[in-house]
Every structure is written in structure tokens, then in C-alpha cells.
Amino acid sequence: MTSAARPRDDSGQMRLVGGVIAATMLLWLAANWAGRRYGWPAEYAFLADLAAIGALVWSLLVTWRIWRRRAAGPHER
């Protein structure tokens, strides 16, 4: 991979991470609202929480990987 192609790949991954974080929060809020509104068992709330935690941890790991790749790349000014 050349240094010219790296920012394009990183920007696509950063957009993906942003989309995953936004979708996770919206779906998590919707699941909590629906669970409270329709009286779902508490196990469903824990399942929604676990899925949200998994998505946010994935987002954190991908963001960390992008940050490390940029820190290790050539420095341009």
C-alpha cells in the first residue's frame, strides 16, 4: 500500500466507524424505549446492552488501529 492510498482507506474506515457508532446509539435507544413501552423481559435489555457494548468496542479498536497506522506513517508537513 502506498502512502497516497492510505488516507483514502482511513477516511472510509473512519466513516464506517462513525456510522456504526450512530446506528448503535439509535438502535440501543430504540430497543430500550420499546422494551419499556411493551414490557419486554429484562433479558432483552441486557441483550441490547451487550450488543451495543460489542459494537462500541469494535469501533474503539478500529479507531485505535487507524490512529496507530497514521502515527507510524510518514510525517508530511
Lowest mean pLDDT among 3-12, 16-25, 57-66: 3-12
DSSP assignment of 17-74 equals: HHHHHHHHHHHHHHHHHHHHHHT--HHHHHHHHHHHHHHHHHHHHHHHHHHHHHHHS-
The chain-wide mean pLDDT, for the chain, equals: 89
Reported as a single tens digit per residue, the pLDDT across 30-64 is 999 999 999 999 999 999 999 999 999 999 999 99
